[in-house]
Amino acid sequence: MTWSTPLLAFTAGLLISTLTAPVGVSGAVFLLPVQVSVLGVPSPAVTPTNLLFNVVAGPGALAHYRRAGSLGGPLTRLLVTGTAPGVLIGAAVRIFAVPGPRVFRLLVAALLLPLGVWLCVRTLRPARTRPAAVLPSGRATTALALAVGTVGGIYGIGGGSILGPVLVGRGLPVATVAPAALASTFVTSVVGTGTYALLALVAEGDIAPDWTLGLAAGLGGLAGGYLGARLQPRLPETALRLLLGGLAVGVGVLYLYQGLH
């Protein structure tokens, strides 16, 4: 590894987090193709490396949201309660059931393609047809968070990139969802990183995170997340949602092509 590789990881983390933090996404879901195709992180080590990125990058945006008084509340508690145990299940599935890079790429495509299309459709739908802001019941929200946490444990994305669009699609404001989604992503990433580190002691293969690249990207994400959170009130929400949806679709198409060929 040359000195330019960690610098590239830092730059990628900075740019991605600046873009995604305002809508409650850590950016790890968009760091996946950079790790695999540019930085050369092997599978399944790419998953814990992504979780390590979330651990280091998360406090940047969370610090601003806490200072602004928007961190905490019932939504945050419900999401953390569900996603934390879910990431443990996802880590076990990732190591023992989905180790191959081809299957991994196809699963990433299956996640990102519908998510990106759904986000774009929700954004372009006229305001009069959007549902009113409705928070699901506590049990339903926790069950959703558990399922998303499991998916996040498999892909190394913490789950916020799925929970955010789902909850915003129900009509909840981004200002409410973003801090809660990022908080759940941070907590589950801490749990997931520790789980993968322990599994690396008993399982074969590249399971432990790439500490150098994970920390470098995370430090970039730390600065980018804080900047993105501060920019949230000034950025057009519609443009951000469409950009995130477009990126998700683009990455999904790329991974689908690579997985099929």
In this structure, what are the phi and psi dihedrals at residue 105, rounded to the nearest 5 degrees? -65, -40
> What residues have CB less than 8 Å from 44, skipping those under 6 apart?
94, 95, 98, 99, 104, 205, 206, 207
Q: In angstroms, rounded to a whole number, what is the distance separating the alpha carbons of residues 1 and 67?
A: 38
Candidates 213, 152, 217, 140; CA nearest to 181 is 152
Q: In angstroms, rounded to a whole number, what is the distance separating the alpha carbons of residues 153 and 195?
A: 10
Candidates 207, 36, 23; CA nearest to 108 is 36
Give the residue carrying structure tokens 């939504």: 75
Q: In angstroms, rounded to a whole number, what is the distance separating the alpha carbons of residues 65 and 145?
A: 21
Q: Please tell me the number of Cα atoms within 13 Å of 237 on its side-chain side.
A: 16
Query: pLDDT in tens for each of the 261 residues of the chain?
Result: 677 889 999 999 999 999 888 888 788 877 877 887 788 887 777 888 888 999 999 998 898 888 888 787 888 889 989 888 888 888 788 777 765 667 767 877 887 788 888 878 878 875 555 555 556 677 888 898 998 888 777 777 767 777 877 787 677 787 888 888 889 889 888 988 888 888 778 767 667 788 899 999 999 999 999 998 888 888 777 877 787 788 778 878 877 887 887
Q: What pTM value is reported for the model?
A: 0.80
